[in-house]
Structure 1
Amino acid sequence: MSTLIQNVGSNDIRKTAEVLEKHEFTIEKELGRGTSRRTFLVKNTDGDLFVVKEVNYRDNETLNRVKNEVSILNKLRHGYIVTYEDSFEESENFYIVMEYCVKGDLSKIMKAQKNVGMFEEKQILDWLVQICLALQYIHENNVLHRDVTPQNVFLTEDGYINLGDFGCAKALSSPVCPEVYQQRYNSKSDIWSFGWLLYYLCMLDVWSNKTERRRLHDNSMAGNTPEISEMYSLDLQILIKQMLSCDLKDRPSAEEILAEPFLKEAVKRNKRISIELEQTFIRALNAFNKAYNAHYRDFKALVDEWGETTDSLEDMHYSTTAGSLTGAAIGTAGGITAVVGAILAPFTFGASLIVAGVGIGVGVAGGVTGAASNITKTARDKSLRQKIEKLMQDYQSVSTPILDSLKTVRRVMRKIIKFQSFVSSSTFNNVQMGLRLGRTTVAGVTEFITLGMLASFGRIAVQSANIGRVVAAASGVLSGILVIVDVVFIVKDSREIHEMRQHWRNDDPDKVTSDVLKSIAQMRKTYKELCTVLQDIHKTREELNSHISQSRD
């Protein structure tokens, strides 16, 4: 449980933490709260950060608004819109899981900028185009945002905009456009709110003064558009005034704004996968290739050793006779139960830890008289123990660099997928895209991201996430090997020997009833899963590098 939850005595926070943990999220911190909603920064089991919005619905109207937002978010996939991840409902609370934008909302950036000066026009134009592309997309999908304000525009760690908060249990914010009073809200109404946002970006001193903001808004309702600093181009000043026009006919659409000649270069820069994101992908793929070349062979050798060790443990267990263990069978039963808990814990998400606790509590009441010689012989077999100890140490050192670098590649791919709508196939045989990755070399060749590469990113991202989960679970299984090696030879009776004969080299824990045999079967099952993981890691690397190579040909 996170430090936040440990330090907060509030039962409602604890209840929220318990609900989120059921869905494999851990609360990192609370980001904010309102009358009926709270937002949290959470982390999943892969270490990825997300924002969870918790909405308390006490009536059907609130619930319907929440479900409407989820319905909207679920169908929107765009480079400049916050990505919806998941949602679930429990105890009169609705939870929406969304992409986390590291740099916070635009209002925080504006507050910080006010202390050092005005925004450069190039920065404003980039944000203008990014937000406008998002509005164009949602308007084409018959969605109205209704609340385009600095608080609902977020910045990613790569510095580009994400439009978010699509009105969940929330009234319209000021300034309110004229047609709202006439109940004629349409896509041009979003342009009005957007125009005020741009005005505030240009006039930070006005934005920070609530009284002045209210005065200017009241004047604009009478057709008096506010003046903009002359440090910005006349083209930008005219566009903002058009966006703030009370007459819908004079207010441009998102499409018309993007067609403005003075925005041509900004549109060209932003209607594509950003250079920064492309460079991030190149660095991530280079790091993955480097880790693969340095550690993959050793990782494979360790997995092979895992399989050999599992077979050795089963052989040792089988070769022991039941007759020499008469006095020890009862006494060691608790220890065996504890070992099973340790081995199976990563696969039962903690439930078997209860079994482990019970086993440890049983103790060794029966003594070890009948098995003293065998215990002494096996427990002191230093070569086997040292082999397992080294296996444990080396496993982390060779798997971690590969998995960490692959995880970074996966995270970047998820970001790039959002921009897929900006990439269209060439009419000339689906060849090179106009999205340069730069001159940095990846596996000897890079030049373009191709449409085929983007199409495969989703599948590769899912595959790499599964790789991480299997290897992490295997670490938990591996940690139990040193315990089981000291008791693995303890056979309860002849029935267990018969069960071993019936299920020799078994990899399904459900096929056997013996606790020790279940543990060995789980180890063998994990070994086979790791063999698959090795193949997936190799295929992932080959596919990514092949895509880049083909795009240059």
Structure 2
Amino acid sequence: MELPPAMNQLFTKHGYTLKKKLGQGVSGAAFLVNNKEEDLYVIKEINCRDRSSDAVKQEVDILKGLHHAYIVAYEDSFEDREAGLFYIVMEYCAEGDLYKRMQTQKRNEFTEEQIRDWFVQICLALQYLHEKNIIHRDIKPQNVFLTEDGYINLGDFGCSKVLERADQYAQSVVGAELYVSPEVLKQRYTSKSDIWSLGWLLHDLCMLDVWSDILKRHNLHANSMRGTPPDISEKYSEELRELIKEMLSCDPNDRPTADEILAKPFLNDAVNRNKNIPEAFTRKFMKSIRTFDQAYNKHYNELEILDSKLTKAADSQEEIHYNATAGSLSGGVIGAAGGITALVGLILSPFTFGASLIVMGVGIGVGVAGGVTGAASNITNIVRQKSLCESLQQIEQNYNNASAPILNSLKTLNKLMKTIARFGVFVSASTSDKAQMSCRSTAVGAGEIMHLCLLANIGRFGAQADKIGRAASGLLSGLLIPADLAFIVKDSREIHEMINKKTTDDPETFKSSVLKSIAQMRKTHKELCNLLTDINKAREELNEYIETARADT
């Protein structure tokens, strides 16, 4: 789609490329974008003229501090001050929001198991927020997003409020009309108001048919505000129906907290299931492990061979340049001697006509010989230089072919593990320590232990994978040396510089363009060695999972 050039430039400046506009709200639009690594994100546009800049920054500050499996992840933010617009970059949830899912479901009821899973996931997110004294204040299906793996992410914190203490009231009327609690109309909003909104969301998941008549839905909400909770189909369990009534109590004190909801016995299975890494992630993780293992076994030796070839190429380039410089310098000296001899013969010609002609002829001959010597040296080395350039091109091509499968599989693993890491909020430090001990003392593969060990190791692997990504970026780019620079000979000082700094891998220590290039080759070789070391370290971090993946094939 077409965006104003200024907006395109702004997105590009911050490393994002627009794919499409997702929608337009009152305060701004939402855009689907990708970054330089082709990862998808949503950019939420906020018109700062409609909302104070302090309110916008509060939303950003809230998002920055939230790290939870069932809360939309914050990625970045930036501002267009001239246009009065603020942009928040967030995780992309590929399956849209829960409201759209409810619409497509129409009259076909969701199973109670599915409803319990989604409900528990939202409740776990609210439990996390309320522990931080944050109230969402806008719980509704439109702000609950579905990921491609089937679980939910609670989003849109534009109305959220951070309280100084847990029992404090927020004083404003916010939230969707059909989900607001009675106390909100009195401008007294607490965490229990989120529970009321979640109660109505749970009702709507059970009673999809109420949306066929919007007036009926309004009447049900109005009645609940006067103390008459809505009826729930008897297709659902008595415990679930009773919970909805408790959550829709007009007195906030009678409503359960998120902690009390999650402690309900009939929700135990759903809570245990959703406080663990989703099965879809486990399958993806093991598949990615196998992909990395196969890529490593197939291509790592090729990278080691290329590392050796790059060292030889740097040595060869240095030898070529040294010979070319020395040959040109020698030819220049011989040519200069010939020129002087010819000049002496010319000066003596009036006095010793015959002898002077002989001297001048010898001088001319020596000068020509000097030129031939220099030219021959350059021609010989130009041929060698061309061969070296072709060799470097082949090294670069082979590097790209060999490294891409390994680096891409590591990138996929790292991205997946960063998402999995958000489930670490359910694992205490003591549990994590026990998981590490279990990994060392028992066979990996028991589901829960493997999950705990994975969560415990993610931080180290993530740092290692990020380091590899940075090191591998453009590693061999710019190695090829232009032919017109290869044999620019200054004077004998260049040979002196080469001799004294032969092993230097810092291009900035040289004045010569060619010597800078040779140093760059040595520096690249050093970086490639470090990259190979880092890849091996990453493999060591994943070794126990690689063994499990092999056993499962």
The TM-score with structure 1 as length reference comes to: 0.80
**Is the CA contact (8 Å cut-off) linking 1:448 and 1:548 kept in structure 2?**
no
- DSSP 3-state at the match of 1:266: helix
Counterpart selection for 1:421 from 421, 425, 438: 425
Match for residue 365 of structure 2? none
Structure 1 Cα separation of the partners of residues 3 and 190 of structure 2: 46
Tell me which of 285, 299, 307 is aligned to 2:303.
299
| Change in 2 beyond 3 A, CA 1:17/1:245 | same
Would the aligned equivalents of 2:249 and 2:255 in 1 still touch at CA under 8 Å? yes
Q: Is the 8 A contact 2:137 2:159 kept in 1?
A: no
Residue 130 of structure 2: which of 123, 136, 139 is its match? 139
Matches within 5 A, 1:385-424: 385-424=389-428
Partner of 1:174: 177
Which amino acid in the other structure matches residue 207 of structure 1?
Answer: W
**Alignment match, 1:510:** 508
What are the residue-to-residue correspondences of 1:127-526 with 2, within 5 Å? 127-167=118-158, 171-175=174-178, 176-207=180-211, 209-321=213-325, 324=328, 373=376, 376-381=379-384, 383-424=387-428, 430-431=434-435, 448-449=449-450, 451=452, 453-477=454-478, 480-481=479-480, 484=482, 487-526=485-524
Matched residue SS, 2:88: strand
Task: Check the 8 A contact 1:491/1:497 in 2, yes or no.
Answer: no
Q: Which amino acid aligns with 1:32?
A: G
Change (3 A) 1:370 1:189: farther
Rounded to whole Å, the distance in 1 between the matches of 2:269 and 2:379 is 78
Secondary structure of 1:280's match?
helix
Amino acid at match of 1:10: P
Q: How far apart are 1:426 and its partner, in Å?
A: 5.8
CA pair 369-255 structure 1, distance change in 2 beyond 3 A: farther
Q: CA deviation at 1:128?
A: 0.7
Where has structure 1 moved over 6 Å in runs of 4 or more? 368-372, 432-435, 547-550
Of the structure 1 ranges 176-185 and 312-321, higher mean CA displacement relative to structure 2 is found in 312-321
Q: Do residues 83 (structure 1) and 73 (structure 2) align?
A: yes
User: 1 or 2 for the larger relative contact order (CA 8 Å, sep ≥6)?
Assistant: 1
Residue range with higher mean Cα deviation, 44-53 or 258-267: 44-53
Q: Name the stretch that deviates more: 256-265 or 222-231.
A: 222-231
Give the letter for the 1:73 counterpart. Answer: L
Structure 1 193/447 Cα, relative in aligned 2: closer, same or farther at 3 Å? closer
| 2:45 partner SS | strand
For residues 28 and 17 of structure 1, the distance between their equivalents in structure 2, rounded to whole angstroms, comes to: 11
In the TM superposition, residue 525 of structure 1 has moved relative to its aligned partner by 2.0
Distance 1:489 1:312, change over 3 A: farther
Cα separation, 1, equivalents of 2:463 and 2:226:
54
Contact kept, 8 Å, 1:424 with 1:451, in 2: the verdict is: no
Q: 1:122 aligns with which of 83, 101, 113?
A: 113
Q: Is the 8 A contact 2:329 2:492 kept in 1?
A: no
Counterpart selection for 2:41 from 50, 66, 70: 50
What are the superposed Cα offsets for residues 324-362 of structure 1, whole Å, 9 maximum, x if unpaired? Answer: 4999xxxxxxxxxxxxxxxxxxxxxxxxxxxxxxxxxxx
The question of whether the paired residues in 2 share the 8 Å contact of 1:31 and 1:39 is answered with: yes
Structure-1 separation of matches of 2:96 and 2:492:
65
Distance 1:428 1:134, change over 3 A: closer
| Contact 1:446–1:548 under 8 Å retained in 2 | no
C-alpha distance in 1 between matches for 2:313 and 2:214: 71
Partner of 2:338: none
CA distance in 2 between partners of 1:320 and 1:33 (Å): 66
Q: Counterpart of 2:542 in 1: which secondary structure?
A: helix
Tell me by how many angstroms 1:376 deviates: 4.5
Q: Taking structure 1 as reference, are residues 10 and 460 closer, same or farther at Cα in structure 2, changes over 3 Å only? A: same
Matched AA of 1:11? P
Q: Give distance in 1, aligned partners of 2:96 and 2:65.
A: 24
Which region of structure 1 is more displaced relative to structure 2, 151-160 or 168-177? 168-177
The one-letter amino acid paired with 2:33 is V
Supply the distance in 1 between the matched residues of 2:501 and 2:85 (Cα, whole angstroms).
48
Task: Find the counterpart in structure 2 of residue 109 from structure 1.
Answer: 101
For residues 208-231 of structure 1, the C-alpha deviation after alignment (integer angstroms, 9 at most, x for no partner) is 543332222222212222222332
User: Taking structure 1 as reference, are residues 485 and 123 closer, same or farther at Cα in structure 2, changes over 3 Å only?
Assistant: farther
Q: 1:370 to 1:52 in 2, by over 3 A?
A: farther
1:231 alignment partner, SS class = coil
CA RMSD in angstroms comes to 3.4
Say if 1:264 and 1:493 are closer, same or farther in 2 by CA, change over 3 A: same
Give distance in 2, aligned partners of 1:534 and 1:241: 61
| Partner SS for 1:230 | coil
Question: Is the contact between residue 378 and residue 486 of structure 1 (CA under 8 Å) also seen in structure 2?
Answer: no
> For 1:233 and 1:182, how far apart are their aligned partners in 2?
34
Partner of 1:94: 86
Aligned residue number for residue 363 of structure 1: none
Shift of 1:472: 3.0
How far 1:549 sits from its partner (Å)? 7.6
**Superposed CA offset, 1:231-280 (max 9, x none):** 22222222122212212133221111112221111111111222222222
**Between Structure 1 and Structure 2, how many residues are aligned?**
492
Structure 1 stretch displaced more, 498-507 or 394-403 = 498-507
Residue equivalent to 1:10? 4
Supply the AA of the counterpart residue of 2:17: T
The CA distance in 2 between the partners of 1:440 and 1:431, in whole Å, is 11
How far did residue 541 of structure 1 move? 0.8
User: Partners of 1:446 and 1:528 in 2: how far apart?
Assistant: 41
1:303, distance to aligned residue in structure 2 (A) = 2.1
On the 8 A contact 1:413/1:457 being kept in 2, the answer is yes
Partner SS state of residue 232, structure 2: coil
Q: Deviations over 1:141-172 (max 9, x none)?
A: 10101111111111222211111111169953
Distance 1:407 1:139, change over 3 A: same
Equivalent position SS for 2:482? helix
Deviations 1:42-87 (CA, angstroms, capped at 9, x unpaired) = 333333322222323238x621111111221222211111122233
Q: Is the 8 A contact 1:154 1:164 kept in 2?
A: yes
The equivalent residue for 1:352 is: none
SS in 2 for 1:464: helix
Cα distance per residue 1:265-310 (max 9 Å; x no partner): 1111111222222222222112211211111111121122223212
The one-letter amino acid of 1:174's match is: E
Matches of 2:54 and 2:465, distance apart in 1: 36
Cα deviations by residue, 1:22-48 (Å, 9 ceiling, x for unpaired): xx3333333233344333333333333
Q: Looking at CA atoms only, which structure, 1 or 2, has the larger radius of gyration? A: 2
How far apart are residue 180 of structure 1 and its match? 0.6
